[in-house]
Structure 1
Amino acid sequence: MDNTSKLAPDASNAKTGIAKWFSLVILLMAQVGTMGDNSGLSVATASLINELGASVSDIAFANAMYPLIAGACMIAGGMLGLIWGWKRLFQVGALLLCLAEIIAAYTDNIQVFIFAARSLSGFGASFLIPAVLGLIVGIYTDTKDRAIAFGAVAAAVGVANTAAPLVFGFLIDKFDYRVAFEALAVYFGIVFVLGFALEKIEKPTVKIKFDFVGTILVSIGLLAVIIGLLKISEWGLISPLSPSFHILGISPALPLVLFGIAVLLIFLKWENQFEIKNGACLMPQSFIKTPQLRDGLYMCGMVFFVLGAYILIGITYCQ
């Protein structure tokens, strides 16, 4: 990323004090917001059930939608940053998250909450998070400053995951869950405006081709697998729980999961060909063939699986 986002001659090194770290404060605000959004949702379960008539399956779906879309589109968001520029990507992400929180605050329909608000949140995060990392590399060219900035981002993630449920819970208890989402909308609106004050960095010079087909394939595949798994309790695993809703006499859940897996296998084949032809893709072969990278992906997957299970079981069901 050093070769794609460079600051004009050592401008970051010439600044000191508040001027030097003001951009980092803005980036940390964005990172805290993206982490806090999903963490805060976990304590709004009772309110969503009471006011929107959500089922436990709906709550699980709402919790899954944000990380699902964010994860599926994160690398695609990074590719867009190389095409658009990191600052523009940052502001588009903040604007999408602001819009998502407004929809979440004012909708009276749980399906709109899930498929509009939570989906937009996922897309916003998939733009904002890569932009934060890209801007840090572009703004802080000194290795020591860059290490401090990345360390601050890591600390901000921990603070957000700890503080967001507390702040959300306070706003819900004191006012209403809608007020909590309104507060988040205002927060991301402020982040969007502050984006204009970020240090200017040169637009990336590397020319890459955006992988539209790969983005669509991975999104469809992951969405099908997750929806199929989440709907087992509602649709049934093999025998359909609803006689009028089935595929050739069996529950749609398992066929949907198998369809998603098939699409993901097609995605991997496509990525292999796309990387050979264009040199950059969403899922580089090094992720699969390099043992260290592959093991790292397994570890990350396990960590987030446990975290997601805790949020669903430990918090959702306790409410």
Structure 2
Amino acid sequence: MAETTGSRPRGVLLPLALAQFICSFAGSNMNVMITDISADLNTTVHGVQVTITIFLLVMAALMIPGGKLTDRYGRKRCFVVGLAVYGVGAVLSALAPALGVLILGNSILEGVGTALLIPPVYILSTLLFTETSSRARAFGAIMAMGGIGAAAGPLIGGLITSGLSWRAAFGFQALVIVAIILLSRRITDPLPADPTRPFDLGGAILSAVGLILFVMGILAADDNFWLMLALLALGAMFLAWFFVSCRNKERAGHEPLLSTGLFRNRTSNLGLVTQNIQWLLLMGTSFVVSAYLQVVRGYNAIETGVIFTAATIGLLVSSLSAGRLARRRAARTLIMGGFLVTIIGVVVLLALAGSALNPWAFAPGLLLIGLGLGVMLTPSVNVVQSSFGEELQGEISGLSRSVSNLGSSLGTAVAGTILVADPGGHAYAAAMSVLAAIGLGGLLAAALLPRRTVSAPPVASRDT
């Protein structure tokens, strides 16, 4: 497939990057609006937390089927439909008179919209940017915007909520969605839709149930240890059933929801592990440091967001350098370097911030964490997406996004469990130390990647 030239790549990339930004922003900015929403809608903090939880469950359930639907209905069509559903959900959330309407708008419609629009972001980037460095630049811009949305979400959400209201934050999301839809007119789907492609409904149900149970288990980690284990075991059982179902369908000559060949690619599997741990570190660090600043140091949402600017800057600088770094260094080197810098950042954060009263003592550690995460987010995505040809892009994109979302949920759950178990000041240091140890696991997975990764041919066989 020919590489897009001239001004077209930038015109195509902008709506894709903005789409990742707004979805990441939506996933993190709600944390600073919980009190305002609960007071305005005459509900409890727990009620708003349920809204956030359902949003995570809907995304987890539908991300893999959402990726598969792009083959049948087209990547751009799914992207635009997902944006429209998300936008309706944002407007409904802004106007919500009660918690039930907020759940419908934010948890259901925005969750469904996200599951439809995010897989096409990565599929279109893979298909439109075929040269290694240009694809790395594209993924770098998208991951930078995603990281900024996640890291700066509390600050932007706090500013909007404090200056206007929590409803205005949803109005902001709706306005961005309208802008993306207008900008997406420049996108041309590089592959025609194939309405004859079968859709594995049974596999979609099994994968959805398995992922919902698994995410529920992760979210139950800070409430009930035995419930967590039971839900994780049930989730694993359904996901194993889903895998066996896919294998049996392939042997019978039918097309499953996911090709089992996706799981036989060692490079992709290792890349998925690094993706999971990267998002675990990003969301886990954000949760722990935010809780520490607000609970122990007594900072408000805006002050906390300002301190996080160091991590946002680091992530932005390193992500936007992805194209140049990809030309100079192998993906394995970049991912290993990213994990190493991130772990060093956690150590610096613990050493400086724990004993200093000056809030800017957090800056060096957060800057290093942001730089490290930005360096490796892009090559990890590139390694996974480039491991397969055009025919499997819908499937691997949905799987990749599900793995990343599980990492985000797991990061918050791990950190929350440690903080709840020991609410004293030492719990925050313990949580960050655990995150650093998990980061070492990511470093090991990165070290097992091949020194040079080779992109798959344009079309891949379904049984390889």
TM-score scaled to structure 2, two decimals? 0.54
Alignment pair present for 1:270 and 2:250:
no
What is aligned with 1:49? 38
Once superposed, what is the RMSD of the aligned Cα atoms? 3.4
Give deviations 1:20-62, integer Å, cap 9, x for gaps.
4211112212121121111222221221222234444434433
CA contact (8 A) 1:286 1:293 kept: no
Counterpart CA distance in 2 for 1:313 and 1:111 is: 30
Alignment pair present for 1:12 and 2:12:
no
Counterpart CA distance in 1 for 2:98 and 2:289 is: 25
Of 166-175 and 21-30, more deviation after overlay is shown by 21-30
Aligned residues: 294
Larger RCO (CA under 8 A, 6+ residues apart): 1
Counterpart CA distance in 2 for 1:40 and 1:237 is: 28
Counterpart CA distance in 2 for 1:65 and 1:313 is: 22
Which AA in structure 1 matches 2:36? S
Counterpart CA distance in 2 for 1:253 and 1:95 is: 35
What is aligned with 1:155? 144
1:178 shift after superposition:
0.2
What is aligned with 2:307? none
Counterpart CA distance in 2 for 1:57 and 1:38 is: 17
Do the aligned partners of residues 158 and 172 (structure 1) sit closer, same or farther apart at CA in structure 2, a change above 3 Å counting?
Answer: same
Alignment pair present for 1:214 and 2:221:
no
The residue correspondences of 1:77-226 to structure 2 (distance < 5 A) are 77-199=66-188, 201-204=190-193, 208-226=197-215
1:143 shift after superposition:
4.5
Q: Secondary structure at the match of 1:210?
A: coil
Alignment pair present for 1:75 and 2:50:
no
Out of 31, 40, 59, the position equivalent to 2:29 is: 40
CA contact (8 A) 1:57 1:230 kept: no
Do the aligned partners of residues 302 and 158 (structure 1) sit closer, same or farther apart at CA in structure 2, a change above 3 Å counting?
Answer: closer
Do the aligned partners of residues 303 and 20 (structure 1) sit closer, same or farther apart at CA in structure 2, a change above 3 Å counting?
Answer: closer
Counterpart CA distance in 1 for 2:271 and 2:133 is: 25
Give deviations 1:81-138, integer Å, cap 9, x for gaps.
1111111111011111101111221213324323542222222112211111222233
Give deviations 1:165-211, integer Å, cap 9, x for gaps.
22211110000000110111121122123222323534156964222
Counterpart CA distance in 2 for 1:289 and 1:143 is: 23
Share of identical aligned residues, percent? 24
Counterpart CA distance in 1 for 2:221 and 2:87 is: 32
Counterpart CA distance in 1 for 2:132 and 2:278 is: 29
1:286 shift after superposition:
4.3
1:164 shift after superposition:
2.5
Which AA in structure 1 matches 2:248? Q
Out of 14, 38, 50, the position equivalent to 1:25 is: 14
Counterpart CA distance in 2 for 1:59 and 1:310 is: 22
Counterpart CA distance in 2 for 1:33 and 1:298 is: 25
CA contact (8 A) 1:66 1:122 kept: yes
Of 293-302 and 143-152, more deviation after overlay is shown by 293-302
Q: Secondary structure at the match of 1:199?
A: coil
Do the aligned partners of residues 255 and 58 (structure 1) sit closer, same or farther apart at CA in structure 2, a change above 3 Å counting?
Answer: farther
Do the aligned partners of residues 296 and 56 (structure 1) sit closer, same or farther apart at CA in structure 2, a change above 3 Å counting?
Answer: farther
The runs of 5 or more residues in structure 2 that have no matched partner are 296-300, 302-464
Q: Secondary structure at the match of 1:12?
A: coil
Of 122-131 and 191-200, more deviation after overlay is shown by 191-200
1:306 shift after superposition:
5.0
Q: Secondary structure at the match of 1:267?
A: helix
1:283 shift after superposition:
4.3
Do the aligned partners of residues 314 and 60 (structure 1) sit closer, same or farther apart at CA in structure 2, a change above 3 Å counting?
Answer: farther
TM-score scaled to structure 1, two decimals? 0.76
The runs of 5 or more residues in structure 1 that have no matched partner are 1-5, 239-251
Do the aligned partners of residues 64 and 306 (structure 1) sit closer, same or farther apart at CA in structure 2, a change above 3 Å counting?
Answer: farther
Which AA in structure 2 matches 1:155? A
